[in-house]
Amino acid sequence: MPEVKSMFREVLPKQGQMSVEDVPAMVMCKPKLLPLKSVTLEKLEKMQREAQETIRQQEAAQREQQQQQKQ
């Protein structure tokens, strides 16, 4: 944008000290690529899920039985 350049001219002093304050700025954590899972890990997680699921079903069945016995 040439017209903007003409509006703001940079000033560089030819003599004397120049100082710039280094202000610490907040930085965001970087974007995160998610690691892909290995086959072993996926199988382990699947087995764990299935085991939990079957146990849950068994417990539910047990509870039902107990309720029926009470009635």
Partner 1 sequence: MEMQMDPLFLAWSYFRRRKFQPCSEICGQILETNPYDQAAWSLKTQVLTEMVYVDEVDVDQEGIAEMMLDDNAIAQVARPGTSMKLPGTSQGGGPSPAIRPMTQAGRPLSGFVRPSTQSGRPGTMEQAIRTPRTAHTARPVTSASGRFVRLGTASILTSPDGPFINLSRLNFTKYAQKPNLAKALFEYIFHHENDVKNALELAALATEHAQFKDWWWKVQLGKCYYRLGLYREAEKQFKSALKQQDMVDTFLYLAKVYIPLDQPITALTLLKQGLDHFPREVTLLTGIARIHEEMNNISSATEYYKEVLKQDNTHVEAIACIGSNHFYSDQPEIALRFYRRLLQMGVYNCELFNNLALCCFYAQQYDMTLSSFQRALSLATNDEEVADVWYNLGHVAVGIGDLNLAYQCLKLCLANNNNHAEAYNNLAVLEMRKGHTEQLHRCSKSEGCVPRSRGHVSPDQAAEATLRHPVNKTTEASAQPERTASILSVLSLSDTLGPPSYKPDILETPPPHTQSMIPLPLPTFRQEIDTTEF
Site residues (vs partner 1, CB under 8 A): 17-38, 40-41, 43-44, 47-48, 51-52, 54-55, 58
> Of the two residues 15 and 71, which places its CB atom closer to partner 1 in the complex?
15
For the record, the structure tokens of 45 come out as 């997680």
**Which amino acid is it at 34?**
L
Instruction: Give the shortest CB-23-to-partner 1 separation in angstroms.
Output: 6
For the record, the structure tokens of 63 come out as 């509870």
> Of the two residues 48 and 66, which places its CB atom closer to partner 1 in the complex?
48
Residue found under tokens 């290995």: 38
